[in-house]
Structure 1
Amino acid sequence: MSPRAPSALPRNAVVAATTITRHLREDPALFALLVSRRLPVAVTGRVARRILRHAAPESTSPVVLAAALVAGQDADLDRRLAVAVEAAPRPGRRARTTRRWAAEIAIAAGRVEPAEALIAAAPPGAARARTVARHQWYAGDMTGAVAQLEAAGRPAARLATRMRAELDVFSGWTPTLPERPAVAVDGRVLHVLINSLPHTGSGYAQRSHSILLAQRDHGLDPLAVTRLGYPVQVGRVLARDADVVDGITYRRLLPARLAPTGRDRLQQQAELLLDVGRRFRPSVVHGTTDFTNGIVARAVARSLGVPFVYEVRGQLADTWASTRPAEARASERYRLFQAREADLMRSADLVVTLGRAMRDPILAAGVPEDRIVLTPNAVGEAYLAPPLTPAAARERLGLPDDGPIVGTVSSLVDYEGLDDLVHAVALLAPSHPTVRLMIVGSGAAEPALRRAAEAAGIGDRAIFTGRVPRERAALYHQALDVFVVPRKDRAVTRVVTPLKPVEALASARPVVASDLPALREIVEDGVTGRLVPPEDPDALAGGLAALLADAGSRERMGAAGRDHVLTHRTWAANAAALAAAYERARGTTT
C-alpha cells in the first residue's frame, strides 16, 4: 500500500471531527446508534447489558433506552417506551427532556407509534420542531420536515439547511461542471464507488473488487475512486490518499474541508473527481447505485466527453422502505427516489445490472433493452480451486466437527431473515442433537439474533463469527454442510440477487433458499438446492432436515451447483461482456 503523506493525519482528523460534530448536532440519537454498530458486538453488547442489569425496571432514561436498543432487547425497549408514553403527562423540565430523548430513540429504532405519542405530549418550541421533523424525515415526508424546521426559525436553521439541501438533491439537482474533454486512453475505466476494500468488506465492496480484478486480467486498465470523505467518515482516521489491494488502486477524495451540506459535498466530489479524470483520461466512467453516486459519475463523464455507465446493484428505494411501515412506499421520499433512479438510468449510455429480476424494473423505467447488460454476481480467485470437505475446512478454522453445520455468510440485517433460520434450527434440534448453526458476518441484527438463539435453547450450538477476513471467507463457505438464504419476502429481496449463495454453490454446497424471484435465478429446486416458502421456519426446517438426512443428495446438488456456476457465473466472463459493451457505448457516443 502507498505510504501516507505527512499531512494526512491532521487533515483527516479535521474531516472526522467535522463529521462527528455535524451528526451530533443534526441527529444525535441516530449517530449514537450507528457508532455502536461499528464497534464490536461483544463490547457494545456487554456494556449495554450491564447498564440494563443495574437499571430500575421502569427507567426510561435515554441511556437505558439506548442500551436496550443496542443490546437487541426489543421487548424490553418496547416495554420501556410504553412506560415513557404512560408517563408523558408528567410535568417538569427534566421530564420533558426525558420524553424528547425517548422520542428520538423511538424514531432511531423505527418505533413509530410511541414516537408519535411522545411527540404529541411535548411542549411547543424548537426542540419539539426538530424531533417532529426527524420523525417526518424518517417516514419520508421530506417537504413536511423542512417546513416544520423553517417555521421554527433560527434555533432549527442548521438542521433545516441540511434537510433542504438533501431535498434539492432528491428533487432533481445535479452537479454542474464545465466541458473539459480530454483525449481518452483506450481501455481505461474510471469506476466511481460508494465504498471499497480494505475498509469495508460488504458484498458491494467484494463485487467491486472482483470486477476490477477481472477487468485488469482481461486487459483493461481500471481505476477506482470512492465517495468524498470515505473512509475517514466511517472512522478510518489514518486513511491514505490511496490503497492498493491485490494490485488494484482505490483513490480517496479527502479534502482538507468538507462542504457544509450533502448537496454541496456532491458538487465538491464532482469537481475533485473531474481532476482525477482529467489526469487518468478514461474511455468510460462507470458509476454504481445509488443515484447520488450516479449523478456525480454522470457529470464527470459528460464533462470529459466519454460514455457514462450506470450499474444498478439494488433497488435502494425499496431497501429504504423495507425498514419502515408499509405506507413508506407511498411517501414523498420513495417517489422521488424512484424518479431519480429512473431518470439516471434513462440518461446512461449503458445500464449494467445483476439479473433478470432486476432487469424488469429497468425496462419498465423506459431503458431500451439493447442498452442493458447483465453481469450476474459471480466467482473467481479462491472459489475456482477445488473446495475442501467440510471436515477439512473446519479443521483449518478450528471449528468443532462433531456434527453437521448449517448456516450462512451474510450481512446481518432484518430482511435477510436470519431470525427464521435460528427458529428453524431450534425446530431441528430435538431430532438432530448434533446439528450446529453458524452465522458468519456482522450487522445491526446481530445482538437480537444472539438473544434469539439463547431464548430458543440453541445458544450452545450457535456460532457467531462476526466479520471474517476476506481471504478466509471461502473456508467458511466450505465449513458448512448446507448454506441457507432465508430472506424475507420484501420488494428488495424479490429482485436483488445476492453474491454469497453463488459463492456457496461454487464451493459445492447445496443451498436452501426462500422461494423468491431473484433467488430462483440462483437456486434450481431439487437440482442445486431447495426452495422453501419465505418467512416459514417450519418449511425451512423441513428443507434442511431432508438434506441433512441424505448425504448423497447434498453431494449431487453441490456438484451440480459448482458446475453451473463455473460454466455460467465467472467474473472473467463478466469482464469480457463489459468490455464489449463499453466498445458499443463508445461507438454510439462518438
Structure 2
Amino acid sequence: MPVVLAALSNGSDDDVKRRLELAVSGRANGERDRRLAEIALSGGLTEISDTLLARASRAPGFKSARARRLWHDGNLGDAVTALDGSGAAGRRLQARLAGERAVFAGAAPLLQRQDFTPVSGRVLHFLTNSLPHTGSGYAQRSHSIMAAQQEAGWDVLAVTRIGYPVQVGKFLARACDVVDGVRYRRLLPSRLALTMDARLQQQAEELLQVALQFRPSVLHTTTHFVNGMVVQAVAEALGIPWVYEVRGQLSDTWAATRGPEARGSEKYRLFQARETDVMRDADLVVTLGHAMKANIVAAGIPGEKIIIAPNAVGGAFLHQPVAAADARREVGLPEDGFYIGTVSSLVAYEGIDDLIEAYTLIARKRPDVRLLIVGDGVSRPLLQAQARRSGFSDRIIFTGRVPQERAVGYHRALDVFVVPRKDLEVTRSVTPLKPVEALACARPVVASRLPALMEIVTDGVNGLLANAEDSQDVALKLESLINSDELRTRLGRAGRQDVLDKRTWRANALSLNTAYERLLVVRR
C-alpha cells in the first residue's frame, strides 16, 4: 500500500494501475482491499475500485468506502443512505454528505431583513479565492476587474469564502490584504461549522456583518452556485441588487472527469438546477462570451438580463511587445531556436498531450524547434512521462507554475501560442484567458476549432484553427506558421490590435459600472 500511494502521489498512473491489478489477481484481504479500492477511486480507476470493493464487503470501513464510491459517481442520496447503521466515523461522514446534498437540493442561508442605508459607488465582491494566496486565472480576473473598477471611480472591497486561505494551507494569513490598492477581507472565525449547509449559513452571517460595516450599494459574486446562495441571502437582507458572474460551467467540468454517464447523475441534475436558480434570482448575470450566453439563455434566463465581460488584459500586457529572443533572455531560457508552446493549467481537458504529440511530429524534421509548457496541474507528471517517451525531452521545457508578474515574459518568449483543448461540453462553452494574453503580446495562436475558442481566434486573421484532438492537424497548422515569418507577423499584429480595441479590463470595468448604475436606478 505505501508503494501504491507513493506512485499515486508521483503521478505514476501506469505503475499505480499495474500494482492495483496485481492486487486484484491476488488473494482477497478485506481491509487491505477496502483501502486499495479507495486509492483506486482517488486515481479514477473505478472498475478496479469496484472489483476490490466487492471483495471487502465485510471490512470495518466498507460502508464508508461504498458511500464515497457512490458519491464519486454523483449518486448523492444513495451515498448518504449507504452509511445507515455505520459506526461513529461513518455517522460523521454521513452528516457531512447529507449537509452537502441538502445544499445541492436547494437548502440556502436565511437572514433577517436589516435596517440599511447603502453608500453610492461602493461594490462588495464575494470570491472563492484571491491574490496573493492563489494565482489562478480566476483570482487574476477578479483582481483585474476590481483594480479597473477602482480606477474608474468605484470603492471596492473583496471578501473571500469562509476559512480561506487557512484551509488551503496559508496558516499565517492575515485578516486583510491589500494588493495593488485592492482590499481583501478574510472570513476567519475561530471555528467552522461541520457541514456544508451549516457552513453556508455561518458564511452568510459573517458576510452580512462585513457588508453592514462597508455599506455597499451592489454585491457581486461568481460561480459556482453556493457563492450565489450566500450573496443572495445578504442582498435580500440589505435590500440591494446583486450580480452573478458565470465564469464556467462547473457541472460540466465535474462531469468531464467522470465520463458521459455522469450527465445522467443526481449531482449533475441538481448542480444544473441550482445554477439556473441563482441566475434566475440575480438582478444581473455577467458571463465571458457568446457561447456561454447562449447556454444561459437556453436555461431560461432572459437575454436582456445578461451582459458579456470577456476575458481581457491590462498592465504589462498592454506594453509594446519585445522580440521573442529578448523575452527568452529575460526569463532565463535559451535564446536561439523557434519556440511553440502554451501557458496553461495542466489538466486533461486542456489537451497538452495532443500538443506534445504534434510537437513530436514537428521535432523529427525541425531540430531548431522547442516546446515550452508553462504551468502546473494534476496532469503534469503524466505529460512529463509522455515527453520522455517522445525521444525529444531535451527540447521540451516544463517550467512549472510561474509568478503572475512573470507570466507576460513567458508569453513573449513564444513564437506561436497553442490552445489544444479537447472537444468537451465545458471547452465548447468556456473562453480561456491565456490566448487573449498571447494575442496582446502579438503572438499568433493555434487553437482547437471549438465555439468558445472561435470567439477569440479568427482563422487566418489572428491565428489558425485546428481540429480538436487531432495532433496531425495541429502539427500542420504549426508548421505553416513556423515556415512563414510574414504570416506570423501579420496574424500577431492583427491579434494585438483586436485585443486593444475590444478586450481590456478598463473596458470591462466601465461596462460593469454602467450596468450597476442601471440596477440602482431600477431599485430607486
- TM bucket (normalised to shorter chain) is over 0.9
> Can you list the C-alpha shifts for 1:406-437, whole angstroms capped at 9, x where unaligned?
11111111100001111111111111101111
Whether 1:97 aligns to 2:97 is no
The residue number in structure 1 matching 2:485 is 551
The residue number in structure 2 matching 1:337 is 271
The residue number in structure 1 matching 2:140 is 206
| Number of equivalences | 524
- Distance in 2 separating the partners of 1:518 and 1:67: 38
The residue number in structure 2 matching 1:417 is 351
- Select which of 67, 73, 82 maps to 2:6: 67
1:86-485 residue pairs with structure 2 within 5 A? 86-87=25-26, 89-90=27-28, 95-124=29-58, 126-152=60-86, 154-485=88-419
Alpha-carbon offset, residue 65 of structure 1? 1.5
Structure 1 unaligned regions, length at least 5: 1-60
Alpha-carbon offset, residue 97 of structure 1? 2.4
Alpha-carbon offset, residue 99 of structure 1? 1.1
Alpha-carbon offset, residue 181 of structure 1? 3.9
- Distance in 2 separating the partners of 1:548 and 1:181: 65
| 2:442–2:495 CA contact under 8 A, matched in 1 | yes
- Distance in 1 separating the partners of 2:130 and 2:479: 38
- Distance in 1 separating the partners of 2:239 and 2:179: 29
- Distance in 2 separating the partners of 1:447 and 1:433: 25
Alpha-carbon offset, residue 370 of structure 1? 1.3
Q: Please tell me the residue identity of whatever aligns with 1:127.
A: G
| 2:31–2:59 CA contact under 8 A, matched in 1 | no
Structure 1 stretches of 4+ moved >3 Å: none
Point out the more displaced range, 378-387 or 178-187: 178-187
> Can you list the C-alpha shifts for 1:299-351, whole angstroms capped at 9, x where unaligned?
11111110010000000000001111210010000000000000000000000
The residue number in structure 2 matching 1:510 is 444
TM-score (normalizing by structure 1): 0.88
The residue number in structure 2 matching 1:499 is 433
| 2:24–2:51 CA contact under 8 A, matched in 1 | yes
| 2:326–2:335 CA contact under 8 A, matched in 1 | no
| 1:125–1:152 CA contact under 8 A, matched in 2 | no
- Distance in 2 separating the partners of 1:511 and 1:373: 26
Alpha-carbon offset, residue 156 of structure 1? 1.1
| 1:423–1:537 CA contact under 8 A, matched in 2 | yes
The residue number in structure 2 matching 1:52 is none
SS in 1 for 2:439: helix
Q: Please tell me the residue identity of whatever aligns with 2:392.
A: I
The residue number in structure 2 matching 1:23 is none
Alpha-carbon offset, residue 126 of structure 1? 4.7
| 1:181–1:305 CA contact under 8 A, matched in 2 | no
| 1:100–1:119 CA contact under 8 A, matched in 2 | yes
| 1:346–1:365 CA contact under 8 A, matched in 2 | no
- Distance in 1 separating the partners of 2:233 and 2:156: 19
- Select which of 63, 77, 82 maps to 2:16: 77
Structure 2 unaligned regions, length at least 5: none
**% identical aligned pairs:** 57
- Please give the root-mean-square deviation of Cα atoms over the aligned residues, in Å: 1.0
Alpha-carbon offset, residue 587 of structure 1? 2.3
- Distance in 2 separating the partners of 1:307 and 1:257: 30
SS in 1 for 2:82: helix
- Distance in 1 separating the partners of 2:149 and 2:236: 23
| 2:158–2:185 CA contact under 8 A, matched in 1 | yes
- Distance in 1 separating the partners of 2:136 and 2:406: 14
Change (3 A) 1:226 1:431: same
| 1:355–1:374 CA contact under 8 A, matched in 2 | yes
- Distance in 2 separating the partners of 1:181 and 1:440: 50
SS in 2 for 1:177: coil
| 2:30–2:58 CA contact under 8 A, matched in 1 | no
TM-score (normalizing by structure 2): 0.99
Alpha-carbon offset, residue 478 of structure 1? 0.2
Alpha-carbon offset, residue 402 of structure 1? 2.0
- Select which of 420, 424, 432 maps to 1:490: 424
- Distance in 1 separating the partners of 2:390 and 2:465: 24
Alpha-carbon offset, residue 110 of structure 1? 1.1
